[in-house]
Chain A
Amino acid sequence: MGLDVLGVSKTFDTRKGRVAALRDVSLRVGRGRFVSLIGPTGCGKSTLLRIVAGLVEADGGTVSIFGEPPERATAAKHVGFVPQSPALLPWRTVLDNVRVPFQVNRKADSVLGRRFRDPVEVLESFGLGDVLHSRPDQLSGGMQQKVAIARAFVFDPSILLMDEPFSALDELTRERQRHELLDIWQSDQKTVLFVTHSVPEAVALSDAVVVMSAQPGRVRAVIPVNLPRPRGELVEATDVFHDLERRVRSELRVAWNDNHA
C-alpha cells in the first residue's frame, strides 16, 4: 500500500493548441518511502503532483492513495500539501497558521482512530518554538517554509506532497532545510512525493528518484537510492552519492535532448 499512479494522461488546451502534459505515467511510492520527481521544465512533474493532490483531474488512468482516489483521500484529510511558496496567511500568527487544518472540513476529524498532533509540539520539534506568536512576515524565507511543512504535518496525513518547497530559498538555506527535512522525516517516515529541480536535493532525500522528460511528460527512468539511513550532511561528500548524482544528471541530459532533438 502507498501511492499508485497507473497510466495517467493529461492534455491542456492552450492558445498554441493541445499540449500533452502527461502521457501514460505510472509510478509507485511504497508506504514510508520518499520519492522525488525531477525533470526539465514542462515535463509535467508539478501537474502530476497536482493530479495526485486532487487539484487537477486526469484525462485517463488511475491514482490511488492508500486505496482511495484523490477526491476521497482529500475529503478524509489524508493528503498533506506543501506548495512552492509557503502560502501562509499573513494576518495569522505562526501557531494559528498551523491550526488551519483543524478549522476546515471538520467532518473528517470525527473519524474513529484519527491521530492528530499538537501544533505547539510540532512547531517546537521543527525548531520554531520561539516564533509561535510571530507573524509570517517577521520570519525568514526558510522558517516560513518550515511553517508550511508543519501545517502539512500537523494533521498526520498518510501522504505528503511537496511541490518544489525549497526553490525560492538561497543555496545555503536550501541545504540546511534539506537536512532538517531529513531529520523530520527520519523520526516519522511519512510517505512523500517530492517535486524538485535540484539533483543533490533529490538524491540526498529520496529512496528513489523518478526522472521525467517533457512533451509529452513521461517517466524516463527510476533510479533507486540505496544510501544508508539516517543520512547526515556528510553523506553528500561520499563517492556513492556523487555516482548517484552523475546517474541522475545523465538521465536528465537524455531527457533534455529528447525535447530538443
Chain B
Amino acid sequence: MHEETATETSALVDATDQSSEEHRLVEEDVSRGLHYWIHPRVWLPPLVAFGLLALGWQLYAVHNRFIIPTVPQILTQLVDHPGLFWRNLLVTLQEAVVGASIGMLAAFVLAMGMCQVRLVERALMPLAVMINVTPIIAIAPVLVLAFGFGMTPKYIVTAVIVFFPFLINSLTGLRSSDPQAHDVFTTLHASKWEILLRLRLPSSLPFLFAAARICVPLSVVGAVVAEYVAPGKASGLGSLIETAMSLSDLKTVYASVLVLALLGIGLSAVVVVLQRRLLGWHQTAPRRP
C-alpha cells in the first residue's frame, strides 16, 4: 500500500515537472524577441487602447476644427514634411542624450564620493537639494544669457533636471548592499575601494536602472524646456513647437508633440532593453507579461 502511494506521488511529481518544463519552453520561446510580438495578446490590448484614444480625439476634433487638428491632418503633416521633423528630432535627441549622460554621470560620481566620505555628503547635499528645488524654468533664461544660444545651455538644463533623482537613487543603491556581505569583505580586510568596486557598485545597479527609467524621459522634458527659452538656431522639436505656435500652425504643433512622445518611448525602450541584458540576476529585471 505504501509503495502504491509512493508511485502515485512520483507520478504526480513527474507531471508537475513536465508542466514546468513546458512553461519554461514557452518562456524561452517568448524571450526570442520577434516571435513574442506575433502573439495577439501582446499587441492587441495596447492597439485597442490607442485606437479608442484616436477615435475619441477624432470625434472631438471634427467638432472643434479651429482648436484641435484631426488625426489625419496630424499624420499628413508628418508624412508631408518628414525632413523637417527628422532634423529637429535629431537635435532634441542629441540634447537629451548628451545632457542626461552628463547629469547622470556627474550624479553617480558624486554619489560615490558621498558614500565613501561622509563629509562630502554633509557639505554638498544641501547644495544638491537647492538645485533640485529651484524651478529649472526660472534658471534657464539666465543660463542662455551666460552661455549663449548654442547647445551648452541646453545640455546644462537637461543635465540639471536629471541630476538630483539620479543622485538620490545612486546613493541609496550604493548603500543598499547586504550588511552581512559587507561583514565578509571586512573580515577579509578588503579596502574601502575594493568594497565599493566589488560589492557596492554591483548592488546599486538595480537602483541606477530604476533611476534611469525616470531620468531618461525627464531629459526630453529638459531639452524641450531649454529650447523654449533659448530657441537658438530655431532647431529642435521644442523650438519647432514654439515657432509653429506663434504662427497658429496647430498641425505642426501636434505633429511635433507626437514625435516627442515617440522619442520618449524609444529612449525608455533602450533603457529597458539594457536593464534586461545587464540585470538578469536581479528580480527587478523587467519580465515580459
Contacts and interface: CB of A to CB of B under 8 A. Distances in A.
Say if A and B assemble together: yes
Interface of A: 50, 53-55, 74-75, 77, 79-81, 83-85, 87-91, 100-101, 103-105, 108, 135, 137, 151-152, 155, 161
Contacts of B198: 89, 100, 103-104
Nearest to A101: B188
Interface in B173-198: 178, 180-181, 183-191, 194-195, 198
Contacts of A88: 181
Nearest to A108: B189
A105 B199 contact: no
Contacts of B185: 100, 104
Chain B contact surface mostly: helix
B199 A89 contact: yes
Given A83-B180, A85-B180, A105-B194, A54 B188 contact: no
8 contacts: A55-B187, A74-B189, A77-B188, A81-B187, A87-B178, A104-B185, A108-B189, A152-B184
Interface residues of B, number: 20
Contacts of A161: 187
B66 interface: no
Contacts of A81: 183-184, 187
Contact of B202 (A85, A87, A91): A91
B183 A83 contact: yes
A104 B191 contact: yes
A83 B186 contact: no
Given A83-B180, A87-B178, A104 B188 contact: yes
B202 A74 contact: no
Given A104-B194, A105-B188, 4 more contacts: A77-B189, A81-B183, A87-B178, A91-B205
A65 to B, nearest CB: 11
Nearest to B178: A87
A74 B188 contact: yes
A132 B162 CA distance: 41
Contacts of B202: 89, 91
Contacts of B282: 90-91
A103 B281 CA distance: 21
A105 B181 contact: no
Contacts of B191: 104-105
Given A87-B181, A91-B202, A137 B281 contact: yes
A83 B188 contact: no
Contacts of B281: 90-91, 135, 137
Given A89-B202, A100-B198, A53 B187 contact: yes
A247 B109 CA distance: 58
